[in-house]
Amino acid sequence: MTRHARARFSPLPSGPVPNACERIWEATRRIPRGRVSTYGAIATLAGYPGGARLAGFALGCLPPGADIPWQRVMNAGGRVSLPGSAGTRQRALLEKEGVVFRENRVDLSVFGWPATAGGKLRHGGI
DNA sequence: TACCTGACCTAGC
DNA sequence: AGCTAGGCCAGGT
């Protein structure tokens, strides 16, 4: 999270047209309880195929206490990308929802959303 | 306009 | 199984 981006988005983005952050957040809201999605998938749902990094950026812009299940977004390997205590918190929240961690990893073929074809979500850098 | 950043992804070694 | 390099995206300076 860069300082300028934080200053710009932290209070909540303003403007008539929803920006990328808000669209990412809306996509994140659609993840059902007890399931997880990936940055790439979220970006695609939001209309930014290949914008996995953007998804991470947008979630980083997320103001604390927002009504968004940000904890249900993980990286393509089914691992928590959030460093430090935030990552621990994310895992705790997910486990409380019924998501099973196995060696710090989640089986996306079981808990992945949307429905994973072939066991793994195909997306990301092209 | 050009360059930089980020809670990323994939392919290769 | 773990690390590196290259490639996507939008937004800010």
- pLDDT, averaged across chain A: 79
What per-residue confidence (pLDDT) applies to A25? 92
CA A41 – C1' C11 distance (Å)? 21
Rounded distance between C-alpha atoms, residue A10 and residue A91, angstroms: 24
Rounded distance between C-alpha atoms, residue A103 and residue A25, angstroms: 28
What per-residue confidence (pLDDT) applies to A64? 80
Token code pair at residue A58: 């947008």
For the four alpha carbons of A19, A24, A27 and A33, in that order, the dihedral sign comes to: negative
Instruction: Tell whether the model's pLDDT for residue A15 goes beyond 60.
Output: no
DSSP A18: -
Tens digit of each residue's pLDDT (9 = 90 or more) over A62-83: 888 889 999 999 999 999 998 8
* Chain C nucleotides covered by protein, CB below 7 Å: 6-13
Buried b / exposed e along A36-52 (16+ C-beta atoms within 10 A): bbbbbbbbbbbebeebb
Please indicate whether residue A117 or residue A62 has the higher confidence score (pLDDT): A62
pLDDT bracket for residue A104 (50, 70, 90): confident
Instruction: Tell whether the model's pLDDT for residue A12 goes beyond 60.
Output: no
Average pLDDT over residues A30-45: 94
* Chain B nucleotides covered by protein, CB below 7 Å: 5-10
Instruction: Tell whether the model's pLDDT for residue A111 goes beyond 60.
Output: yes
Of A73, A82, A66, A70, which is closest to residue A52 (Cα–Cα)?
A73
